[in-house]
Structure 1
Amino acid sequence: MYAIIETGGKQYMVREGDVLVVEKLNYPEGEVISFDKILAVSKEDGNVEFGKPYLENVKVNAKIIEHGKGPKIRVFKYKPKKNYRRRQGHRQPYTKVQIEKIVQ
């Protein structure tokens, strides 16, 4: 059984026990959260139910494992012949979650 959820502007196909890296969520580590934006869910008999756009009465419970930052990306911009050079770095924050249960 799997579900397709939407969080942080992205869609993820999840099963119970999966570990996902999603955009940063503002919850403390160890807390159990619930994803409400469910696009599709498969049932035990193999049928798939789709929402318009989201399914009602279906939730995915997940536990927050950790927060962190991704790898550093260096941004460099310059203008030729003008001695203009700027270097910036960016590390995207993320949250690692473990899917516990798909509740129908």
Structure 2
Amino acid sequence: MGDRFTVNRLAGEAGDTVTLPALLLVDGETVTSDAQALAGVTVTGEIVGHGKGPKIRIHKFKNKTGYHKRQGHRQPLTDVVVRDITKG
């Protein structure tokens, strides 16, 4: 708990609580990745803030026709801190 990670943009403001699905559970020496076993596990996190990822530049070009197109993209991201992991 207390781990901070970045995910694709989530709805909510900074300070809001979100519930996330568990993908992998490591409890000491026991590692669980089975979807049925993880169905009862919930991860509660808190939104720390929103931001954008690095700029990605796309340039399409076709030879001899004069066609070129520039486009950019920045993925919207959300920083989340894990507050609680509950086994059900």
Do Structure 1 and Structure 2 share a fold, with TM-score over 0.5? yes
CA distance in 1, matches of 2:17, 2:83: 9
Q: What TM-score do the two structures reach when normalised by structure 1?
A: 0.74
Aligned residues of 1:38 and 1:51 also touching (Cα < 8 A): no
Q: What TM-score do the two structures reach when normalised by structure 2?
A: 0.86
Q: How many residues align?
A: 87
Asked which structure has the greater RCO (Cα within 8 Å, sep 6+), the reply is 2
Matched ranges for 1:1-104 at <5 A: 16-35=1-20, 37-44=21-28, 46-53=29-36, 55-104=38-87
Runs of 4 or more consecutive aligned structure 1 residues displaced over 6 Å after TM superposition: none
Task: Report the Cα offset of residue 53 of structure 1.
Answer: 5.0
Hey, which of these two has a bigger chunk of helix by percent?
2
Q: Which ranges in structure 1 are unaligned for 5 or more consecutive residues?
A: 1-15
CA distance in 2, matches of 1:17, 1:96: 12
Q: Which ranges in structure 2 are unaligned for 5 or more consecutive residues?
A: none
| Residue identity (%) | 38
Partner of 1:6: none
CA distance in 2, matches of 1:79, 1:73: 20
**What RMSD over aligned residues (CA atoms) do the two structures have, in Å?**
1.6
Letter in 2 for 1:28: E
